[in-house]
Amino acid sequence: MDRRHLEYFVTVAELGSFTRAAQALSIAQPSLSNAIGWLERDLDIRLFDRHGRGVRLTPAGEALLEPARRSLRSFEVARGAVRAVSQAGFGRLSIITNTLWAVEPLARLVGEFRALHPRVQVTVADPIWHGDVLETVRMGGAELGLVDGTPPGGTLESRWLADLEMMAVCPPDPTSAPTVGRADKESITIGDLSERGLVCTPDGTVLRGIVAEPLLTAGLSTDVAVETAHLAAVAPLVLAGAGAAVLPRAMADDAAVKGARVRPLDPPLRRSVHVIWRKRRASDLALGFVDFCVEACSAGS
């Protein structure tokens, strides 16, 4: 089979009719029927059941549909990467997001994407404040951005990437048996963390907003014991005994390897991360990367 056969198959499956699919593809219906017949003979199985004026997928057709869609998206990613290549021989992709989401899920996605497209150069910028991501993408300062919470509308489009769990990260306890590299099963409340003293980034940053939300819900002060402008210093400060913190699971797991005690929060605290871009302004490479990320995150979850 080739790309053309897969495109024909997906179109017929989505429209439920050879006639409508032929019109959408701008080809003669006999040519479409012959192509699907060739695909069924190649696979040695029937993909469609004909009924009345339409068709429906057989179990074998259902099994093929999603892999076929993934294959077609992979073709588009490759096409976008080639179209975006500059005279210097590189495609360039600019992304802006805060460090939390740059660590997870973005780092893994960029790594997997560049393994497939090593001629693509990726720039990841860090905003000073949370709202800077939206404004930078709106103004064209970056093609893509990663944000949490309710995705924006208006001039921006968005796709869901991941729901990430926030974890409580506490200093090592010399009186307890070590649990290095794994999380405790016993949960802890945000109030308990606040009593121990919280380590966090300044007002206006993503992490501070995430921490402040459950504190306000519980009727507690949003003051923190240690405020640092350096997100990378939060876990070391916790390990040094300066206080406790709330971090995404990926960063919490790194702290656990170094001896921190990681526990789930009660109630659980999760953040939905979306990728955003300007409507009708993103390059083929950027849109290809979006499709790749959505597919990779869906497969991972």
pLDDT band at 152 (very low <50, low <70, confident <90, very high): confident
Residue 274 β-bridge partners? 147, 160
d(CA 59, CA 49): 10
Is residue 209 predicted with pLDDT exceeding 70? yes
Using alpha carbons, list the distances in angstroms from residue 59 to 35, 64, 229, 263.
20, 9, 55, 44
Number of other CB atoms surrounding residue 177 within 10 Å: 5
Q: What is the pLDDT of residues 235-282, one digit of tens each?
A: 999 999 999 999 999 999 999 999 999 999 999 999 999 999 998 888
Amino acid 108 reads R
The candidate with the shortest Cα–Cα distance to 187, out of 245, 261, 249, 263, is: 263
**Is there a contact between 273 and 198 (Cβ–Cβ < 8 Å)?**
no
| DSSP, residue by residue, 41-56 | HHHTS--EEEETTEEE
Q: What is the pLDDT of residues 13-57, one digit of tens each?
A: 999 999 999 998 889 999 999 999 999 999 999 999 988 778 999
